Amino acid sequence: MIYNSIVMSDFKMDESEALEAVDFGCNKPDIHNLRAQHPDIADILFGSFKNLPNVYKFKQGMVISWELDQEKEKNPTYGRFPVGIFTFDTGKYREELTVLDGELRMGLNGELKVASMYEKIIAPSNSKVKFIIQKTPVLYLCEYFFEG
């Protein structure tokens, strides 16, 4: 598998990166500022953020996301990956991640897909995917589509 050649020694988290992660998790995003920062995708940035973030703890750091309440069965999330490799199961939803900052790599079935600003990576439903972040943290918007 291509992504297995990426080793954890390539990843480093310094103090400023740790502080940035804490800041992202402690400060609820402002939807108006986000729309202004990303006018290319403003049409999908609507609703309001829930009061508490989702926090997923890994050895390499925390993946943090804020649910954007759009009154959908599964609302989109605005999130942040620190540098590292993170494995997630998609469950019954196809996940479409739009990169807002950084470069996101996704390993799936031995294939490596890469996306940068405003590019989208699609993770099929009922899949186990590896998200690989090598240089700088990645900000993303993830939309979920039910596929049973």
What is the rounded distance in angstroms from the CA atom of residue 6 to the CA atom of residue 25? 27
d(CA 99, CA 17): 19
**Threshold 0.95, pTM exceeds:** no
Alpha carbon distances (Å) from 114 to 2, 125, 130:
12, 19, 12
Give pLDDT tens digits for 74-128: 999 999 999 999 999 999 999 999 999 999 999 988 899 999 999 999 999 999 9
pLDDT at site 148 = 72
Residue ranges of domains in the chain, CATH in brackets: 2-146 (2.60.120.10)
Strands 104-108 and 84-89: unpaired
Quick one: what percent of the chain has pLDDT higher than 90? Answer: 78
